[in-house]
Amino acid sequence: MNYQTIAALDIGSSKVCCLIAHVTKDKKISVVGYGYNASKGIKNGVITDINEATISVCNAVEAAEQKAHEQINGVILNISGEKTLACLRRSSIALKKNRPISQEDINKVMDKGLAKINIGNNDLIHSMLTNYKIDGGEDLKDPRNIYGEELSVNILLGMYPSILRRNLASVVEAAHLNIDSMAFSAYAAGMSCLVEDEREYGSTIIDIGGGTTSIATFKGGFPVAFSTIPVGGINITRDITKGLTTSFEHAEDLKIRCGCAFGVTQDEYENINVYPLGEEDDSSIKQMHRSDLIRIIAPRVEEIFELVARKLETHGLHNLQNHRVVLTGGGSQLPGMREVANLILNKQVRLGGPRNIGGLPEPLANNPIFATSLGMLLFATNNIECKPKKVINRPLGSNRLMKIFNWIK
């Protein structure tokens, strides 16, 4: 056999997707099976019903296995939801001035940063070295043979509450599968949608899913920030359901066929048909202006990007010049999303589908709905994680409080 079989499992609030791929020794990925269906028992990226979620997973996996003509034992699993946590840990060492930086110095600063990491009541999902700095200067990928007084490196940590991770594991195990590795949804989406220059010079991927919007910022080729907001495409559909007093299914159909993130004058003259809740025969149809539908959608879309702007501001990324934004995920397909994002975020914005894997089956090719699941295949074949030497579970912030207490004492 000249290839390795890997599988990605994307458990989302609106869909569950399973991809099976063959990976050659030169890391070429070929998707040989896929399956997806509407998800149940999952809300905002969190498991709410183990049995229903397990059935959703089993259906997607079985469909993928049938297309691939093979069974899988393990999967790469996505992690999403507002409970994801990310932070930067800085490690630095003093350098000898009479010689340039060596591999020994790089190992030393890495070992110091990874010696002991406190993750509180969380599981460590990601641990990645980002670019180096010499004397607090510009980011460097390789500091060897350069003179300086201090060498530092940032380690990006991605964490997820242990109890929520155990619920996900219960669903996967109930489907008779093992978890081979895990990846934040936005990180995976960035791997599949961003081109190399965007990851290098600075870009933020915004993955608008059903129940959550996941955000990852890349710079220097590495992710430097992760965050999530608990709002997505399902919230827009629910707003339509309430605003027009119709069923969720009809509201979703209206959003897809007639929805837009902002209105124009001609929408005042265009009519749409609405089925009142519980009355789905043609005799009960009500006609409304398309502008009424858009007036329900627009505030929620604006809220999504205003919350994204706050997250970027928290990470110190909101005012960066030449920083691009790429929208992906099922929610990004709503007409007008790019224009609203451009207005609120004040950045260059483009729509992005998976583009870093060739020869995809027709339903997957350049389809933003599958950005995360395809990105997990890339994550598995280009893993840059570094393993901490010791992980401790102590309430986050306790060290600082203890130092303050001891100082007062």
Distance CA 370, CA 302 (A): 24
Confidence band of 409 (pLDDT split at 50, 70, 90):
very low
Task: Give CA angle at 252 (76, 56), nearest 5°.
Answer: 30
Higher pLDDT, 61 or 385: 61
Contact by Cβ (8 Å): 186, 312: no
- Of 157-166, 238-247, 377-386, 397-406, least confident by mean pLDDT is 397-406
Closest by Cα among 316, 355, 375, 404 to 6: 375
> Between the CA of residue 140 and those of 5, 137, 187, 202, what are the distances in Å?
35, 9, 21, 14
Residue 213 neighbours by CB distance under 10 Å: 30
Confidence band of 239 (pLDDT split at 50, 70, 90):
very high
Q: Is the predicted pLDDT of residue 403 greater than 60, yes or no?
A: no
Tens of pLDDT, residue by residue over 84-121, are: 999 888 899 999 888 999 999 999 998 898 888 888 89
Q: What is the CATH number of domain 85-161+389-408?
A: 3.30.1490
With residues binned 3-state (H G I as helix, E B as strand, rest as coil), the percentages for the chain, rounded to 5, are 35, 30, 30
Tens of pLDDT, residue by residue over 290-346, are: 999 999 999 999 999 999 999 998 888 777 767 899 999 999 999 999 999 999 999
pLDDT at 396: 64
| DSSP letter, residue 388 | -
Q: Which two structure tokens, joined as six digits, stand for 191?
A: 């791997």
Q: Is the predicted pLDDT of residue 404 greater than 80, yes or no?
A: no
Q: Which two structure tokens, joined as six digits, stand for 141?
A: 């990928």
Q: Which two structure tokens, joined as six digits, stand for 281?
A: 């025969």
Closest by Cα among 16, 20, 17 to 7: 20
Q: Is the predicted pLDDT of residue 402 greater than 50, yes or no?
A: no
Q: Phi and psi dihedrals of 69, rounded to 5?
A: 60, 35
Closest by Cα among 301, 383, 363, 359 to 335: 301
- Of 63-67, 251-255, 399-403, least confident by mean pLDDT is 399-403
**Contact partners, residue 409, CB within 8 Å, separation at least 6:** none
pLDDT at 41: 93
pLDDT at 147: 92
pLDDT at 266: 76
pLDDT at 159: 93
Q: Is the predicted pLDDT of residue 400 greater than 60, yes or no?
A: no
Give me the amino acid identity at 201. Y
pLDDT at 384: 80
pLDDT at 284: 79
pLDDT at 265: 73
pLDDT at 6: 96
Q: What CATH topology corresponds to 196-354?
A: Nucleotidyltransferase; domain 5 (3.30.420)
Q: Is the predicted pLDDT of residue 406 greater than 60, yes or no?
A: no
Average pLDDT of the chain? 89
Closest by Cα among 282, 236, 281, 232 to 258: 236
pLDDT at 405: 45
Query: Global pTM?
Result: 0.89
Element (H, E) at 301: helix 290-314
pLDDT at 407: 47
Tens of pLDDT, residue by residue over 200-213, are: 989 999 999 999 99
Q: Is the predicted pLDDT of residue 398 greater than 70, yes or no?
A: no
pLDDT at 397: 56
- Of 139-153, 176-190, 256-270, 353-367, least confident by mean pLDDT is 256-270
pLDDT at 401: 46
pLDDT at 408: 45
Domain ranges of the chain: 85-161+389-408, 196-354
